[in-house]
Structure 1
Amino acid sequence: MARSKRAGRRSGNPDTKAEILAAARRLFAEEGFESVSMRRIASEAGVDPSLIHHYFGSKNDLFLAAIELPLDPAPEVAAVLEGGEIEGVGERLMHAFVTIWDGPHQEKLLAVVRTSLSKPAMSFVLRQMFEHRIVKTVEEAIGDRVDHVPVRANFIGSQIFGLVVTRYILKLEPIASLGEAELAETIGPTIDRYLTMPVEHLVDRR
């Protein structure tokens, strides 16, 4: 059933920012980050597109605000993956990732994850975060150095998500107590294997 459209366009008011965020959450959840334009979100919220830029700046910034993520992991992921040899990428990536999660934003990051895991309606938060800000970033950073990039990137994403759950949510030992360097040295080679192992037999599997 189609949603009724609001008459006209609203200028900024105390409710405008909340309306934009609500519209963005709905559309990101239903159609995904890549498919939704800023103009479409503005139409859904009944506001002028310029107000989205005024309140949030870029589409990436709006996405982060919509899912209430306290920081964007994509720049950190890209920085450790771009350029250089594939060998050793896993250790660098794990070190950067654990540094982020052990940092000052840990409580807010965990709140996002716990909310998403406990409320099925919010599961899109985790999916969109991992697909758009981690998996897609991995794909873009390594795309010219390995084959079958989407398959490899998704395996890396699964390793990162598994670490979040076991270390920060379930607090399983010894993973919960290992230092950044120990985790990077232990898990890094697994990520390197995802980047170099044959994956032809996994491509297009249904």
Structure 2
Amino acid sequence: MTEAGARLTRAERRRRTEARILAEAARLFAESGYADTTIRAVAAAAGVNPGLVMHYFGSKEELFLSVARARPSGPLGGEPEQVVQEMLDRLAASMAVEPVESLAVLRSMLTHPGASEAASEGAARYRAQLAAAIPAADAGVRAALISAVLIGVVLGRHLLKLEELRDAPPEQIAELLRPCLRSLTGADG
């Protein structure tokens, strides 16, 4: 064991191992979907024993749900113009680097109830944040439209691999969407 490795606490080694398992599970769920991803494949990719994956997560279902819950999403807030900029920044980031946790859920949501529930829960939280930031009577509808557009862009680029969308710079996509998002959030009014 290296000197640095000897200094790690048992809890820190466990956190790192769990993080490695989650990262590899997210990658495999995104690439193959829920049905075709196995605990053995996740364990092999993470460099651990399949029993350790089961020890930490209990089942493939719980591993998948842990991946789905690990998707980063901070709160949206402020004036509509700030919200638009935050959304565009997040979108550009997910265009530049494939968002494997989100893709794992999106790829699997049509065939696996747990994935569908996780996607619905995450989307509902995001829509509620958006709706709270939109000063309009139909804020819920506007938030749902924004959510659908952004999900569609991510799906088109990373899963469907639509050529023009796949090859366009993230900044160009963000700037093309800016007027639409400004209109839907009320930032242009």
TM-score, normalization: structure 1?
A: 0.51
Distance in 2 (CA, whole Å) between partners of 1:110 and 1:100 is: 10
User: Judging changes above 3 Å, is the alpha-carbon distance between structure 1 residues 156 and 188 closer, same or farther for their aligned structure 2 residues?
Assistant: same
Distance 1:68 1:179, change over 3 A: same
Of the three residues 150, 167, 185, the one matched with 2:175 is 185
For 1:126, the equivalent position in structure 2 comes to 119
Structure 2, gaps ≥5 residues long: 1-63
Deviation at 1:121, TM superposition (A): 5.6
How far off is 1:172 after superposition? 0.5
Contact 2:136–2:186 (8 Å) recurs in 1: yes
- Aligned pairs for 1:92-107 within 5 A: 92-100=86-94, 102-103=96-97, 106-107=99-100
Counterpart amino acid of residue 135 in structure 1? R
Match of 1:161 in 2: 151
TM-score by length of 2: 0.55
Say which structure is richer in helix. Answer: 2
Q: Structure 1 residue runs of 4+, over 6 Å off?
A: none
Aligned-pair CA distance for 1:174: 1.0
Q: Report the identity percentage.
A: 19
Aligned to 1:71: 71
RMSD: 3.1
Which residue of structure 2 lines up, in the alignment, with residue 90 of structure 1? 84
Cα deviation, residue 65, structure 1: 5.6
- The runs of 5 or more residues in structure 1 that have no matched partner are 1-63, 198-206
- Partner of 1:152, secondary structure, is helix
1:196 aligns with 2:186: yes
Number of corresponding residues: 126
